[in-house]
Amino acid sequence: MLPAILLSGVAVTLILLAALLLATLGIISYFLGIRNNLIGLRNSLDRSYFDMDILLKQRHDEIPKLLATCKGYMQREQKTLQAVTEARATYARAATQEEKAQADSINTGTLHTLFAVAGKYPELKANSNFIQLRGRIAALEERIAAQRDRYNQEVNAFNLRLSRVPHNVVARFLRLQPRARLQVTKSDREAPR
């Protein structure tokens, strides 16, 4: 009788240990899943930003061609051409995401101004190089705007996830910080002069 009681006590202990082990493994798996999800969101957000950066670089590379085409026609518009050149240089010097966003905003504004001023020059508007470059830059602008929107949506999803329990605990452990959305600046809202 005594061995049966001891056997049942050992069995109960083993069952409790197995249940405790399974519960511990379940909790660890749950938090590893949260970690993997947060890392995936962060990587997706970084990829989205770098995709936009590639488009900005492509636009940046088109600007000298556009300026070369415009210079022959726009002798009286040196300030406008200089502003585009300076905006391009500002983008080239930008190192951080914030600096690149500001430089992009300046670039967008100066290009809008350049295209508005180009309207005063019928020969330039009819130039095939100018038409082709304007179309290429306009297409890049549309893709950049779409990519900005995608990036901002991913920033919102990432920041929302970081603010929820228990994700915020895991995010703190991983040292993940909320990201800033790309903002439209005052100059982007204004019509070009």
Q: What is the CATH number of the domain that holds 94?
A: 1.20.1440.20
Does residue 193 surpass a pLDDT of 50?
Answer: no
- Domain assignment present for 20: no
Which pLDDT score is estimated for 73? Answer: 80
Does residue 6 surpass a pLDDT of 80?
Answer: no
Summarised one tens digit per residue, pLDDT across range 41-70 is 999 999 999 999 999 999 999 999 998 888
By residue range, what is the domain housing residue 155?
Answer: 42-189
Report CA torsion sign: 115, 117, 122, 124: negative
What confidence tier does 188 reach under pLDDT thresholds 50, 70, 90?
A: low
- CB distance 100 to 56 below 8 Å: yes
Mean pLDDT within 167-191: 80
- Domain assignment present for 57: yes
Does residue 22 surpass a pLDDT of 80?
Answer: yes
- Domain assignment present for 151: yes
Helix (H) or strand (E) segment spanning residue 82: helix 78-93
- Domain assignment present for 13: no
Does residue 33 surpass a pLDDT of 70?
Answer: yes
- Domain assignment present for 35: no
- Domain assignment present for 23: no
The pTM score is 0.77
- Domain assignment present for 122: yes
Instruction: Give the span between the Cα atoms of 158 and 25, in whole angstroms.
Output: 27
- Domain assignment present for 33: no
Which pLDDT score is estimated for 102? Answer: 86
Count of structural domains within the chain: 1
